[in-house]
Chain A
């Protein structure tokens, strides 16, 4: 089987003994405890670190470390990181990971309490798999796991197109008058990106569903 992320993900779906290993990055102790529990309850193995720097060290990517071997032999299947962190932001961490030939295939999900469109777009453009608005709920994590490591039906649209050469229909572009980023990164078959509390409905949901959660959330900040 090919060694790239896509096929090795499929392989893990069949391998029932393999638990999905998630590297969670968040400077907030409260949030780390919550995300760790959310992931464990969905049967993931979790390594939680408090900074981007530590995440890179764990992966063996830290430039200041001469030794490039990862601290832990466990392979990481998913990285979920907070956006706003002192030192290295989640965005900077994302860039470092996507800039690494060894680790760029690992899906990275960004979490943020701020529902800012430009931020979401920036992250998706840089290769983030998904963007979750905090506070993170159980349904968000379940959806993530299902989409990335589930029955294969929910695999990321972009990856599917790249590897299968199949064009998957996107929502109608003409509906993108208002600031909806879904034209750039259309919803995966599982559920729309970055709209964590919407039910995981099929792509027949209009793009207008997408701004609803955004605008609801942005009134908080």
Chain B
């Protein structure tokens, strides 16, 4: 019971910090509402899809920006997609980076775009890391016989 309590506290503290630091926003809480006994892994499944999608997009972006003649419309299309998916799962900092990125696309500012891509990569891997930690904590709590605390806005 001691272990479960500790893990639960860790989970709550960590979750709170993720929201507090803007890594996650209200939409992530929305996803939690969609998870229940009939769909116990829903959030993890959606987030996994997000990871796959994001890594493809980051590769596509890198390729698109390496072209001799950069097609900014294409770059923007990728960023738009990334903005959408990150928004749908509540990855706020990633989403905000996409917004900034789109501005540089509109200006056809290659340097700006390259810098954004770098930052986007950074933000993405940060949130990926955080979410994986979150999921790990959840698993540990369940394996120790406890229930995962529900975070409310």
Q: Is the CB of B30 within 8 A of A137?
A: yes
**Of B15-23, B60-68, B77-85, B116-124, the one touching chain A:** B77-85
CA distance A41 to B85 in the complex (A): 21
Complex contact A220–B88 (CB within 8 A): no
Which of B6-14, B39-47, B134-142 faces chain A?
Answer: B39-47
CB-defined contacts of B83 to chain A, threshold 8 Å: 113
In A19-72, the 8 Å CB interface with B consists of: 28-31, 33-34, 37-38, 41
Chain B residues positioned under 8 Å from A138 (CB to CB): 30, 33-34
- Secondary structure type dominating chain B contacts: helix
| A37–B53 touching, CB < 8 Å | no
Q: How far is the CB of B75 from chain A (nearest CB, A)?
A: 15
Q: How many A residues are at the interface, by size bracket? A: 10 to 19
Interface of chain B residues 82 through 124 with chain A (CB within 8 A): 83-85, 87-90, 95, 99, 102
Query: Are A30 and B85 touching (Cβ within 8 A)?
Result: yes
Can you list the 9 inter-chain pairs with the closest CB atoms, starting with the nearest? A30-B85, A135-B27, A37-B34, A135-B88, A135-B87, A30-B49, A137-B30, A30-B50, A113-B84
Between-chain CB contacts (< 8 Å), 25 pairs: A28-B53, A28-B81, A28-B85, A28-B88, A29-B49, A29-B53, A30-B53, A30-B89, A31-B84, A31-B85, A31-B88, A34-B31, A34-B46, A34-B88, A37-B34, A37-B39, A37-B42, A84-B84, A86-B77, A113-B87, A135-B30, A135-B87, A137-B27, A137-B30, A221-B102
Instruction: Give the interface of B toward A (CB within 8 A).
Output: 27, 30-31, 33-34, 36, 39, 42, 45-46, 49-50, 53, 77, 80-81, 83-85, 87-90, 95, 99, 102
